[in-house]
């Protein structure tokens, strides 16, 4: 009897450990070549979308964050080197281009024949600006590792910064474990989240300058001659047969499990769109899919002005065809606009305080200091919150960090946690029964 109870307890304990160690990757990241369905095809009167081969893809309006095309945009996939978009954004926000970075064992350990690199040497020094371009244009893994150590103090701290930034941007399907995108089952993202990261980067002048660069030369260093570099993004390279007029930048990614991934931006006549395509057998397919989606955006949609702000809507749609929902955001009101239930843009309205009624019966006046006294709290509006995915602007960074472990979990992960908790209770019950049996 005792042996039976021991076996049951051991079995339950093993299952609990297994469940508690399960990651989103184990249950959700798709690597079997299954293409996602196109959700936007079900929207009434939405422009017919072109055929896209990529397993998942998204087309986003860079100005409003509105989604124009959704093919499994929130399905988990491995991002490979498109990870470097976040690496670049976090590094630019937390360093100076004039900083001097010296390569340590942390960086040079990633210099291998099968890994993208600039062959950085132990003890070699270059500016942070050079590192940004090496990470972007050459997709240099050792440079990303060195950036991480320099900016974060340790790689682990920098990765924490990446994950915190992802949470702030409303990336609920992303988790990073390194700064380069090297394969790891716990390192994952989705097309929509990568588009959000790209959109955030476009708002940063330095990020955008790096993104638009086709050629860059790292000057000679203490251990190397000058290193000329040329873009690896076909849509950006004018000499490529896949060049796309209006493309202003992008990032490729590849690994055996991730296959080919591509995140690109195109701009014409003041309209800017982001396309992310994930898991293709060949980069040419990513480029072809991105091209037809950009054409789809420029040809099937128009920009209209709503309360002074431009929004992208299907051609022929007017302001009268839109519906609006209002949301209070501190001292502001966020008016969100929809067409056939699909979000197309927002307008932020500053609330006007209601003046106090004048009391004519009293001749005494209110002191001037009282008239001007007001709350000094500053409200920071995060535009990515327009899709109800970003962190509330009222919360501090520490509040956001503490909530990272409880918010944004998929239903599958929540179910695994519930099952794990139930098994722990069963295990405790069995151990209690065993104790009374022995006594």
Q: Tens of pLDDT along 257-277?
A: 999 999 999 999 999 999 999
329: which 2 tokens? 């955001």
Percent residues over pLDDT 90 in the chain? 68
Q: Tell whether the torsion through CA atoms of 49, 51, 56 and 62 is positive or negative.
A: negative
How buried is 105 (Cβ within 10 angstroms: 0-12 exposed, 13-18 middle, 19+ buried)?
exposed
CA distances from 290 to 280, 295, 297, 299, 301 (A): 12, 9, 11, 14, 16
Cβ of 167: how many Cβ atoms within 10 Å?
20
Read off φ and ψ for residue 242, nearest 5 degrees.
-100, 5
Q: Output the pLDDT for position 111.
A: 80
354: pLDDT strictly greater than 60: no
Residue 418, C-beta contacts closer than 8 angstroms, at least 6 positions apart: none
**Which residue's structure tokens are 């955008």?**
208
Distances 316 to 60, 300, 322, 339, 413 between C-alpha atoms, Å: 20, 10, 12, 12, 43
Compute the mean pLDDT over every residue in the chain, rounded to the nearest whole number: 83
Element (H, E) at 265: strand 259-268
Pick the more confident residue, 223 or 12: 223
Tell me the pLDDT band of 412, cut-offs 50, 70 and 90. Answer: very low
Note the pLDDT of residue 415.
Answer: 56
Locate the DSSP E strands across 281-406: 301-306, 309-314, 323-329, 332-339, 342-350
* Residue 427 confidence (pLDDT) above 80: no
Q: Is the pLDDT higher at 130 or at 2?
A: 130
Q: What is the pLDDT of residue 369?
A: 35
How confident is the model over 367-379, as a mean pLDDT? 32
Closest of 94, 128, 308, 153 to residue 218, by C-alpha: 128
| Mean pLDDT score, 225-231 | 98
Quote the CA–CA distance of 107 and 122 in Å, as a whole number.
8
pLDDT cut 70: percent of the chain above it? 76
Average pLDDT over residues 351-356: 58
Give the pLDDT of residue 221: 98
Q: What is the mean pLDDT of residues 141-158?
A: 97
Asked if the model's pLDDT at residue 406 lies above 50, the reply is: no
pLDDT digits (tens, 9 = 90+) for 47-66: 999 999 999 999 999 999 99
| Residue 361, pLDDT above cutoff 90 | no
* pLDDT confidence tier of residue 416, bands split at 50, 70 and 90: low
Euclidean distance between CA atoms 322 and 337, whole angstroms: 6
Q: Identify the pLDDT of residue 432.
A: 73
pLDDT of 418 reads: 65
CA distance 79 to 159: 15
Q: What is the rounded CA–CA span in Å between residue 12 and residue 420?
A: 10
Average pLDDT for 335-359: 80
Q: Are 75 and 33 in contact (CB under 8 A)?
A: no
Tokens of 149: 């150590």
Rounded to whole angstroms, the Cα distance separating 66 from 44 reads 17
Does residue 434 have a pLDDT over 50?
Answer: yes
Calculate helix-pair angle for 205-212, 191-202, nearest 10 degrees.
110
Q: pLDDT tens for residues 282-318? A: 999 999 999 999 999 999 999 999 999 999 999 999 9
- Measured between its terminal Cα atoms, the distance across the chain in Å is 14
429 vs 87, which has greater pLDDT? Answer: 87
Residue 149 predicted with pLDDT over 70 = yes
Q: What is the pLDDT of residue 417?
A: 58
Q: Is the CB of residue 89 less than 8 Å from the CB of residue 186?
A: no
Stretch 413-428: mean pLDDT: 65
Q: What is the model's pLDDT at position 430?
A: 74
Q: State both tokens at 130.
A: 């050079």
Q: Is the pLDDT of residue 232 over 90?
A: yes
Bridge partners, residue 70, by sequence: 58
Identify the pLDDT of residue 382: 44
Average pLDDT over residues 363-388: 36
Does residue 360 carry a pLDDT above 60? no
Does position 120 have pLDDT exceeding 90, yes or no?
yes
Instruction: Name the residue with higher pLDDT: 363 or 217.
Output: 217
Q: What is the pTM for the complete model shown?
A: 0.77
Quote the pLDDT of residue 169: 98
Residue 19 pLDDT exceeds 60: no
Report yes or no: 168 and 160 within 8 Å, Cβ to Cβ: no
SS3 236: coil
Q: Which residue has the tokens 């960090």?
A: 401
Evaluate if residue 16 carries a pLDDT over 50.
Answer: no
252, HSE (Cβ side, Cα atoms, 13 Å): 22
């Amino acid at each position: 009897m005792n042996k039976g109870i021991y076996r049951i307890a051991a079995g339950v304990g093993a299952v609990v450990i297994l469940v508690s160690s399960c990651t989103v990757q184990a249950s959700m990241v798709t690597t079997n070549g299954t293409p996602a369905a196109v959700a936007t095809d079900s929207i009434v009167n939405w422009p017919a979308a072109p055929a896209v081969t990529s397993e998942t893809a998204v087309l986003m309006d860079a100005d409003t964050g509105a989604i124009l095309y959704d093919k499994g945009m929130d399905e988990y996939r491995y991002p490979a080197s498109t990870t470097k978009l976040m690496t670049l954004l976090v590094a630019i926000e937390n360093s100076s281009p004039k900083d001097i970075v010296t390569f340590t064992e942390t960086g040079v350990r990633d210099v291998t024949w099968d890994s993208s690199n600039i062959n950085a040497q132990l003890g070699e020094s270059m500016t942070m600006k050079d590192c940004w371009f090496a990470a972007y244009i050459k997709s240099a893994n050792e440079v990303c590792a060195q950036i991480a150590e320099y900016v974060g103090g340790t790689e682990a701290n920098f990765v924490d910064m990446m994950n915190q930034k992802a949470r702030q941007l409303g990336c609920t399907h992303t988790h990073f474990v390194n700064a380069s995108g090297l394969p790891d089952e716990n390192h994952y993202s989705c097309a929509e989240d990568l588009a959000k990261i790209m959109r955030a980067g476009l708002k940063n002048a330095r990020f955008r300058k790096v993104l638009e660069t086709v050629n860059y030369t790292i000057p000679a260093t203490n251990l190397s001659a000058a290193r000329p570099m040329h873009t690896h993004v076909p849509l950006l390279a004018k000499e490529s047969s896949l060049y796309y007029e209006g493309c202003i930048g992008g990032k490729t990614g590849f690994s055996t499990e991730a296959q080919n991934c591509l995140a690109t931006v195109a701009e014409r006549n003041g309209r800017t769109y982001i396309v992310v395509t994930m898991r293709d057998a060949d980069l040419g397919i990513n480029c072809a899919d991105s091209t037809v989606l950009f054409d789809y955006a420029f040809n099937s949609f128009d920009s209209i002005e709503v309360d002074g702000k431009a929004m992208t809507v299907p051609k022929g749609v007017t302001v009268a065809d839109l519906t609006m929902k209002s949301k209070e955001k501190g001292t502001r009101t966020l008016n969100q606009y929809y067409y056939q239930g699909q979000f197309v843009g927002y307008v932020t309205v500053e609330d006007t305080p209601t003046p106090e009624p004048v009391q004519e019966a009293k001749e005494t006046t209110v002191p001037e200091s009282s008239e001007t006294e007001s709350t000094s709290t500053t409200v920071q509006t995060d535009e990515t919150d327009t899709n109800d995915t970003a962190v509330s602007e009222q919360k501090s960074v520490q509040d956001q960090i503490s909530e990272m472990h409880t918010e944004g979990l998929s239903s599958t992960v929540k179910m695994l946690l519930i099952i794990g908790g139930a098994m722990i209770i069963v295990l405790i019950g069995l151990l209690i029964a065993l104790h009374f049996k022995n006594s």
